[in-house]
Amino acid sequence: MTCALLFRLLLLMTLAALFQGKRFGPTSRLRYSRFLDPSNVIFLRWDFDLEAEIITFELQVRTAGWVGLGVTNRYTRVGSDLVVGGVLPDGNVYFSDQHLVDEDTLEEDGSQDAELQGLTEDAVYTTMRFSRPFRSCDAHDQDITSDTIRVLAAYGLDDTLKLDRDRTFVKSIFLLQIVHPDDLDVPEDTIIHDLELTDFLIPEDDTTYACTFLPLPIVSKKHHIFKFEPKLLKHNQTMVHHILVYACGNASVLPTGISDCYGADPAFSLCSQVIVGWAVGGTSYQFPDDVGVSIGTPLDPQWIRLEIHYSNFHNVPGVYDSSGIRLYYTAKLRKYDMGVLQLGFFTFPIHFIPPGAESFLSYGLCKTEKFEEMNGVPVPDIQVYGYLLHTHLAGRALQAVQYRNGTQLRIICKDDFYDFNLQETRDLPYRMEIKQGDELLVECHYQTLDRDSLTFGGPSTINEMCLIFLFYYPRNNISSCMGYPDIIHVAHELGEEVSDSMEGMMAMNNVEWTPENIKKAEKACKEAQQTVIIKTIDEVVENTTGWIPEIIRAPRGPCLESSGGKVEPQDKTPAGYRAAPIALSGSSTATLRCLPLAALLFGQGALSWLLATLQVGV
């Protein structure tokens, strides 16, 4: 290859990067950022290219020693991957793709799948920037997926590569966040409206559901709510588990004051159509620029039910709270009115999870065939653009699956590494259409190895839930569609003679929960006929029945073979791999003579990319 051709390729590459914005070089702006430790010593920036399946990280740490960043799992750090690097006192840099062979010992991978883009040290920080594929062909590298990722960060005070637990941190992050808030429009006429409790005395109970009814903003013409965020008092944050805002039908007769949402007065559980929601770990959320929650027309709700779930496990007395939700709204109308559809397992009283379960799956079915009849007017196809997943402490994974005419169409959303402490509204990579007659199935995966008694569905954090909220447009009147299994069938399969559902649930306490019986119960729940409960904003309820369809699991995508090392034979995964690009013919020593000038003109990062593409060794 001639120098002229090399320079032309580099120029084309640079222009492509400028116009397409897909590759992230050594100086490209990375859109996302987060502190990874409580003392704000470790700061992470990142961005990604979904098409190329490459993610770029920049780790900045207040240290003159080594720094490391990788991915770990929920249960152990053994097997975690960690990319490490630093600057020696003489100015030389070191950089390596490694993994943990035990809790404290690092070992270099046979395949080096991280590409260094920059490593500097000044009087305050050591900064390391590198890219890596979402999935390499090295079994020592954890995949980057659209699930919750447990990011592992570590550093040392000098250049001795030794893990210190006081300087090692794990933080759950949704790395592949599709929409960045800076990419969204903020109207100039934005108005703020707060929905909150005022000086509410949190009871000295483990679990409290406090509800009150509040008016939405009074406006003379149609407006759109386009963003919401939690309002939390700092000293009470650990007590607030979730906040939900439910739209009330305009025919509803609502009580006054604050009371237990699901207590003696059933009026405080009125209104069941969620319009916005926040849970532990979440932050603010702004809707896409073409959708919003409509207020101000005769068809729009005028009142809402504000529900705040408090978890006061230490029974602390005398704590007052004024938490709530802040709404942002505008007269600049969006194209679509949005709604929220609640799916999952009908929480109470049928849901149960055996103790001592390594894995237990629960299912909730939704059948949409009655939506139009219950809605009162034709229901257009809905476009789903976002979702919120919700279980309590035993939850490990969730997914929502769509079926049409008896055939699985797609997995709408999932999280195989769900973290109770990171519950946030997430955007889908593209809009997904649901038609009248489709079936929607929610699967929740639980683990109860730390429990010696049954876990039942219910409101407390130590109870369980299995819920997925789909954010969609255009809005209709359906608020929820959830299912539960025939518990009498389940009890009979477990050898218990019962005649009604209450006896069936009580009989679960008689079962010896061996691994065999746990699997038998899971199978019985899946094979039992499901009752599907559909509810509208006006509290109209109808039931139907159905059966749980099989789920076709999504295969892992192809892996990217590294051009910077050799994959060890025992590490090669059976799912296949995507090879590094084929070398262009004619690469020779003539190319190598151009490299110093090319690096000077275009930068070492750009040159490294091109060389990897051409498979030129230096």
Residue 297 pLDDT > 70, yes or no? Answer: yes
At 506, is the pLDDT very low, low, confident or very high (cuts 50, 70, 90)?
A: very high
At 563, is the pLDDT very low, low, confident or very high (cuts 50, 70, 90)?
A: low
Are residue 370 and residue 280 in the same domain, yes or no? no
**Which residues pair with residue 360 across a beta bridge?**
446
Contacts of 22 (CB under 8 A, 6+ apart): 16, 49, 51, 52
Are residue 358 and residue 503 in the same domain, yes or no? yes
3-state secondary structure of 83: strand
* CATH code assigned at 130: 2.60.40.1210
The predicted pLDDT at position 5 comes to 53
Residue 20 pLDDT > 60, yes or no? Answer: no
612: in domain: no
Are residue 324 and residue 348 in the same domain, yes or no? no
Burial category of 8 from C-beta neighbours within 10 Å (exposed 0-12, middle 13-18, buried 19 and up): exposed
Of all residues in the chain, the percent with pLDDT exceeding 70 is 87
User: Rounded distance, CA 214 to CA 295, Å?
Assistant: 14
User: Rounded distance, CA 478 to CA 484, Å?
Assistant: 18
The predicted pLDDT at position 533 comes to 97
Of all residues in the chain, the percent with pLDDT exceeding 90 is 72
Q: In terms of pLDDT, which residue wins out, 245 or 250?
A: 245
Per-residue pLDDT of 249-284, as tens digits, reads 877 789 999 999 988 898 998 888 899 989 888 889
2: in domain: no
The predicted pLDDT at position 16 comes to 44
Cβ–Cβ < 8 Å for 343, 448: no
Residue 208 pLDDT > 90, yes or no? Answer: yes
Last residue of a domain, one of 534, 552, 570: 552
* CATH code assigned at 469: 2.60.120.230
| Two tokens, residue 483 | 């299912």
The predicted pLDDT at position 568 comes to 52
Burial category of 224 from C-beta neighbours within 10 Å (exposed 0-12, middle 13-18, buried 19 and up): buried
User: Three-class SS string for 146-191?
Assistant: CCCEEEEEEECCCCCCCCCHHHEEEEEECCCCCCCHHHCCCCCCCE
The predicted pLDDT at position 604 comes to 40
Q: Is 209 among the catalytic positions? A: yes
463: in domain: yes
The predicted pLDDT at position 593 comes to 36
Residue that has been written with the tokens 């013409």 in this structure? 221
User: Rounded distance, CA 615 to CA 618, Å?
Assistant: 10
Cβ–Cβ < 8 Å for 551, 532: no
Are residue 235 and residue 350 in the same domain, yes or no? no
The predicted pLDDT at position 500 comes to 94
169: in domain: yes
What mean pLDDT do residues 94-111 have? 93
Cβ–Cβ < 8 Å for 523, 548: no
- Strand 67-72 relative to strand 54-61, pairing: unpaired
Are residue 100 and residue 140 in the same domain, yes or no? yes
Range of lowest pLDDT (2-6, 75-79, 425-429): 2-6
The predicted pLDDT at position 519 comes to 98
What mean pLDDT do residues 378-394 have? 95
Q: Is 329 among the catalytic positions? A: no
10: in domain: no
Are residue 323 and residue 343 in the same domain, yes or no? no
The predicted pLDDT at position 577 comes to 42
Last residue of a domain, one of 308, 336, 364: 336
Q: In terms of pLDDT, which residue wins out, 147 or 608?
A: 147
Contacts of 308 (CB under 8 A, 6+ apart): 197, 200, 209, 210, 211, 240, 242, 243, 321, 323, 324
Rounded to 5 degrees, φ, ψ at 336 are -125, 145
Burial category of 317 from C-beta neighbours within 10 Å (exposed 0-12, middle 13-18, buried 19 and up): exposed
Domain count, the chain: 3
Residue 223 pLDDT > 90, yes or no? Answer: yes
561: in domain: no
Instruction: Estimate the share of the chain in helix, then strand, then coil, as percent rounded to the nearest 5.
Output: 15, 40, 45
The predicted pLDDT at position 180 comes to 84
Residue 380 pLDDT > 90, yes or no? Answer: yes
Residue 544 pLDDT > 90, yes or no? Answer: yes
DSSP H or E stretch at residue 14? helix 3-20
E runs forming strands in 416-520: 426-434, 439-446, 455-456, 467-473, 478-485
Per-residue pLDDT of 319-339, as tens digits, reads 999 999 999 999 999 999 999
Q: Which of 140, 390, 392, 445 is catalytic?
A: 390
User: Rounded distance, CA 55 to CA 67, Å?
Assistant: 18
Residue that has been written with the tokens 């050591």 in this structure? 126
Are residue 123 and residue 84 in the same domain, yes or no? yes
* Mean pLDDT of the chain, nearest integer: 87
DSSP H or E stretch at residue 225? strand 223-231
Last residue of a domain, one of 315, 336, 357: 336
Are residue 275 and residue 363 in the same domain, yes or no? no
Are residue 267 and residue 375 in the same domain, yes or no? no
Are residue 308 and residue 380 in the same domain, yes or no? no
Q: Which of 99, 140, 155, 209 is catalytic?
A: 209
Are residue 405 and residue 516 in the same domain, yes or no? yes
452: in domain: yes
E runs forming strands in 478-538: 478-485, 530-536
Cis preceding linkage at 549, omega within 30: no
* CATH code assigned at 318: 2.60.120.310
- Strand 577-578 relative to strand 559-560, pairing: parallel
Report which DSSP code applies to 446.
E
Structural domain range at position 74: 32-173
The predicted pLDDT at position 167 comes to 96
What mean pLDDT do residues 79-90 have? 96
601: in domain: no
Per-residue pLDDT of 59-75, as tens digits, reads 999 999 999 999 999 88
Are residue 197 and residue 225 in the same domain, yes or no? yes
Residue 353 pLDDT > 50, yes or no? Answer: yes
User: Rounded distance, CA 575 to CA 332, Å?
Assistant: 50
The predicted pLDDT at position 496 comes to 95
